Structure formats: C-alpha cells, structure tokens
Chains A and B, each alone.
Chain A
C-alpha cells in the first residue's frame, strides 16, 4: 500500500516538502519504496538478460564436456582469481558507502565510493589485459580464431560465450563506475541526508548485482573440470 498516501489527502500539504520529493509522490517514504521496488524489478530483467546466454552455456556444456574442460584451461585463473577478490572487496566498500550515507557522514560516503570506483577500474584494467592476451593468441571467436586442441569448433563456441558473458558483465561494470561517479559528485555536494539517500542505495544494489554475476561467471568459465584438467596436463 502507498503508506504515506493516507497521511494527507490534500496534496498541497501544509508542511514544507523535502527538496528531493517529486510532485507525484505523497511522501519520501513512498518515493523510496517505489525506487527500491523498481530497482529490484530491473535486476530481475538483468537476470533474464544474462539467462539467455547462460542457457546456451548450459546446453553446450552438457553436449561438449571435453571441449569445455579443454577451453576453460586456457583462461588465466590467476588474473580471474584476483579479479574475483577485487570485486568482493568492492562489494564491501560499496556497502560501507551506503552505511555512511545512511548515517549522514558525507566525507565517509565520498571516500568509500571513490574506493569502490577504484576497485571497479582495477577489475576493468585486469580484464583488459586478459582480453588483450586472448587477441594475441587468436583465441577470439570469429574468422581469425585458432585453436590447437582437440575440439576447435566447440572451443570457439566456448569462447563466444566467454566473451559474450564477460563482455556483457564488463559493460555493466563500466556503467556501474559511471553511475558511481555521478553519485560521488552528488555526495560531495552534500545532496544526501539520512532521510533521503535513495540513489546511493540503488547504485549499491546495482553494484552488488554486477558483483554477484561475476561470482557465478568465475566458476562457470574458469573452473570447469580444473582439478582433473591440471592432473592431465601434469603441471
């Protein structure tokens, strides 16, 4: 139910409105609830968006387990692992930024947000080097694809999905960092108060979502049959 609506049926209420309150809402609380629900629904659409690619991943992993093991071994587990740690850390700093905004400590909010952005950029830089290396090795699907293992076609499908999934994820990271830049600027201007810090919280939800996507992608792409594969290669 629209909680605030019953409070004052006259929309030209007698008390001063918060500057962030939009005219079509009755109260900040209602506005905040609408934003929160909207964000969650948006994240559901994101799950479905990645879902199409994950469905393709699932089908071909079941069909081609050998190719999947072989191609997955070609991914750099060290860089992937570092990136996983970087993103988990960034989720922590993001949560701290939301907490600081909630308690009205502007300086802390700004600092935690900057730290989160720095970690996000670190992820993207590492990802850039991983991609560049794949281009050097010609392990990028398309006309120039080269593969010296047993299953060249199937490996190409694996790398199509690898680049599709991680590329889509990286795009979300770039959007996330941009979003945080705007939020940081707003926080520095002192726009947020303990009564209204919805944008910080919503960016936080988005950021955690993008992190969680990576938490799924890392094992799905980097850790296929890794223990078995290592024994086979004899490292």
Chain B
C-alpha cells in the first residue's frame, strides 16, 4: 500500500510547517494542538499513578519514601485534574466539532482561542517546572495549612501553573458561549442543536462562573504562604475552612466541566449507533443546564467532617442528592434510546457501553457519600477514591474516547481498526473495574487515602487493584497505537462513514475544508432524524 495523499484541500493540508500550526486560528487545528498537550499530560499523570499503585502492592513503604509518595499522588492529581480532565472534551472535541456542528466557519473569537491554548501550555510548563524542581506534596486540593505553613515543596510554582491554566478554561468557556449564541447557521434553532452543543454550553457556564473563584483562591493561598497574612490561619484569626469553601465552590462544579461534555458526546454516539432520535431530547438538553446550576449548590458535601454546622450539612446533603435527578434523567434517556434501536456494534459504541455502566456505579456511590452519617465513616477513605475515579475515568475518559472514536475519521480522514478499538475498550473496562472495584471495599473496610503504608489485611485487595492498573495501561497503550497507526495506514473514511446526521458529517468532507463549509449550511430539521436515513447500515 502506498502512502496516499488526501486529494482535496482540507484543514490539515492547506498549509504546512510548524508555524502554520503554532499560529493557526482554525478551531480544528487548535483542537488538535490541545489533543497533543493533553495526551502528554495524560501520559505523565499515568506514570505517577503507576508509581502510586506500585508502592501500594506491599503494606510496607518500601519503594518510595513517605515524602515521595505524597509528591507522586499530588503530581498525579494535579496533572489529571487540571491538564487532562478539565480540557479533555471541551478543548479537544469541543474545539474541533462544536463550530462544525452549529454550521459556523469558526468560533466567535479565533485569536482568543489560540491565546487560550498558549495560556494552557504556559500553565502546563510551570507545573512541569514545579515537578522538575522537586515536586509538590500538598495533594491536588492545596488545603491550608498543607499548602501554607506546613509544606516546603514547590507550592508556589504549581499554584501558578494551575492559576494560569484556569484562565485558559475561562477564555474557552467564554468563546464557546458566545459562539453558540451568535454563530449558529440559519435554521439552527436552540432545539435543533445537537446535544453535544448543549452540553458544551452548560459546561461553558460552569467554566465562566466557577473558574475565576478558584483562581482568586489560589492567589490568596499563595499570598498567605508568602507573606503570612493570616486569612486562612487560625492562629492569626483566619479560618482554614474558608479555603475549603472557596476551593470547592469551583472544584465541585469542575466535576461537571469534566463530565458534562463527555455526556454530550455519549448522546451523539448513542443516537448514531442506535439509529434513533435521542429519547426525550429536551429533557437531556435541560438536564445539562440543571446539572450546571445544581452543581453550584452542593460544594459543602466535601466539608461534612470539617466542622460545618449540622444544619448547613443537611441542606448540602439534600442538594447533593438532588443532582442525582438530572444525572438519572440522562442515564434513563440513553437507555430508552437504546431500547428498540438498531444497535450497530462498532468501536465508539463499545466505549459508550463502558461509560454507562461505570458512570452508573460512580453516580450511585456518590449518593453514599452525600449521606451525612455514612460520609463520617467513608470520608477520606479509598471509597472516595474509587467513587470519583468511576466518574472521572470511567465516565469522563470513557466518554472522551467514545467521542474521539466517533469523530476521529472526521478529524483525520482515516479509519482505525475497529477490532483493535473494540479490544481496547474491553481491556480498559476490565482493567478499570479491577483497579477501582476493590478500592470501594478497601474504603469500606477503613483504608484511608493518601497513606503509603497500610495494615497487612488490606494487601490482597491492593494487589488486585495494582494488577488492574497494568491491564488498564495495556488498554490505553493499545488505543494510542492503533490511532497513531491509522494516521499513516488507515483506510480513507469518506465524508460520513457512520451515516450520521449532523452538519459536520453531511455538509463537509473528511477532513473538513479549511473554513468548514463550501456553502453556508441551512438547517431545516432536528439533530437526530435517523428515521429518515433508514435503519440499515453497512
């Protein structure tokens, strides 16, 4: 097979050279730029996780010192939360697909979009520098006094990295919000928008309203650390719990920055591979907004044992339960979409099935933690670790991979091996459950998080968990291998390999044209008119 050159002018081949990428204002290329940086961050974060799991195969602290262990899990958390989970779907898939899906030539502010990427990279480099100069040991949450008086590691540099990267997220959210309001093609009404766009919109709300608060909080923490102002220091009249309130005011809603966009991608894939309209379109659309709004009212469920009043704890417990409603609306509606659908067993759908199962477990165990009495027992144990990994990795990363496998032919113009992709979805699913399933039990039995030694009776479950990690690692590596291979040897995709609805599939080539469409699309139907396309697919 010869290395074929894609014949038509597209966004990948109309300009060449590094400068044409580093100075691009094209949303599609910027999406690819994010993909590269996020992939590096994911790789680093995974290495740190491997370090943590290796240490925990034995009860003794025999591989690394306690200090190094602290730095390992902090590096893992900081890298994965701020440089993978926050940008992974909005900045990669949102950038690439959203303007195409609404029929726009670009986002509203293309230069600002490129600036966001540079801001992100600068924040990333500061964080990398902090790791090179010896790491940071506060945990990704930067709680005072761990971050103010009790640490002599690179808190400032890491804080600066996170602070800077936050502005990238704010600017992306702003840009997308304006784009969705002002750049839709003629006929693209709000209720014809693909659900991915609704999800991106809801996410943008959280990015815009929440991220500035964590930025100022990290700034206050840095000033406290440098100058000893006393704002968070009880010896000087300050209140460390205030830091936790401000931090979680962003960081709980940030969970929805991580999970809403993958949920949007899931809706796209599930409709396409069930050959059906998404059941209860408007419910799914509004549940995204409801999650974004409720998400701002539940932050103190992280503070149940931090000494907040029982009455406020009751209110926050109740509201945390309330978030389960819109989340359940989504899950039920996806299931109802599958019901009597003509299910097409292709790779993107495998990741969707993984997502639904894992998100369900992650979501339901969240209710355990939202219960006041149970949280006293489970707080800061491995149960919490397992819960949020089911949401963040089982949900967000699985959802991202579903979306990536769905749009990959559009992004690159190439098909990957469906068999290899199915196998890797299966490996990740099995590896993931083996890694984090035992952690629920460990947490229930009382193993605290963030300790590098533990009593002997926890060893069996810890070994299982570490073994699962290696399967997970194989699964992700396989994904990287066949996707990269497809860039060079993959079959040509054609404009619409999935026979999907949507402007990105029907109104432009794969890869898309430099300015997206040769003629401005005019929309005259809803997002998922699969019934008009027939059920039979190749």
Minimum CB–CB distance for A25 against chain B, Å: 8
Contacts of B217 in A (CB 8 A): 52
Given A42-B174, A160-B223, the answer on whether A56 and B212 have CB atoms closer than 8 Å is no
Please, which residue of chain B has its CB at the minimum distance from the CB of A161? B231
Contacts of A78 in B (CB 8 A): none
Interface pair A37/B213, CB less than 8 Å apart: no
Contacts of A9 in B (CB 8 A): 186, 519-520, 522
Please, which residue of chain B has its CB at the minimum distance from the CB of A6? B186
Interface pair A56/B178, CB less than 8 Å apart: no
CA–CA, A42 and B236, complex, Å: 35
Interface pair A23/B515, CB less than 8 Å apart: yes
Given A37-B178, A45-B174, the answer on whether A52 and B520 have CB atoms closer than 8 Å is no
Minimum CB–CB distance for A223 against chain B, Å: 22
Q: Is A122 part of the binding interface, using a Cβ–Cβ cutoff of 8 Å?
A: no
CA–CA, A155 and B177, complex, Å: 42
The interface size of chain B toward A, counting residues with CB under 8 Å, comes to: 45
What is the count of residue pairs linking A and B with beta-carbon distances less than 8 angstroms? 127
Interface pair A41/B105, CB less than 8 Å apart: no
Q: Give the interface size class of chain A.
A: 35 or more
Interface pair B236/A52, CB less than 8 Å apart: no
* Residue from the list A5, A41, A45, A46 in contact with B185, Cβ < 8 A: A5
Interface centre among A44, A50, A67 (most CB of B within 10 A): A44
Minimum CB–CB distance for A101 against chain B, Å: 21
Interface centre among B105, B170, B177, B178 (most CB of A within 10 A): B178
Given A30-B182, A41-B177, the answer on whether A52 and B228 have CB atoms closer than 8 Å is no
Please, which residue of chain B has its CB at the minimum distance from the CB of A44? B208
CA–CA, A5 and B523, complex, Å: 12
Interface pair A156/B519, CB less than 8 Å apart: no
Which of B106-114, B121-129, B422-430 forms contacts with chain A? B106-114
Interface pair A156/B230, CB less than 8 Å apart: yes
Contacts of A153 in B (CB 8 A): 230, 236-237
Q: Is A59 part of the binding interface, using a Cβ–Cβ cutoff of 8 Å?
A: yes
Q: Is B209 part of the binding interface, using a Cβ–Cβ cutoff of 8 Å?
A: yes
Q: Is A34 part of the binding interface, using a Cβ–Cβ cutoff of 8 Å?
A: yes
Contacts of A30 in B (CB 8 A): 182-183
Minimum CB–CB distance for A215 against chain B, Å: 20
Q: Is A142 part of the binding interface, using a Cβ–Cβ cutoff of 8 Å?
A: yes
Which of B238-246, B350-358, B368-376 forms contacts with chain A? B238-246
Interface pair A64/B229, CB less than 8 Å apart: no
Interface centre among B175, B177, B227, B242 (most CB of A within 10 A): B227
Minimum CB–CB distance for A41 against chain B, Å: 5
Interface centre among B184, B216, B217, B242 (most CB of A within 10 A): B216
Q: List 13 A-B contacts (CB under 8 A).
A: A5-B186, A5-B520, A9-B520, A24-B105, A44-B209, A45-B170, A45-B211, A46-B212, A55-B242, A56-B246, A64-B237, A156-B230, A156-B237
Give 3 closest A-B pairs by Cβ, nearest first. Answer: A52-B216, A49-B212, A160-B229
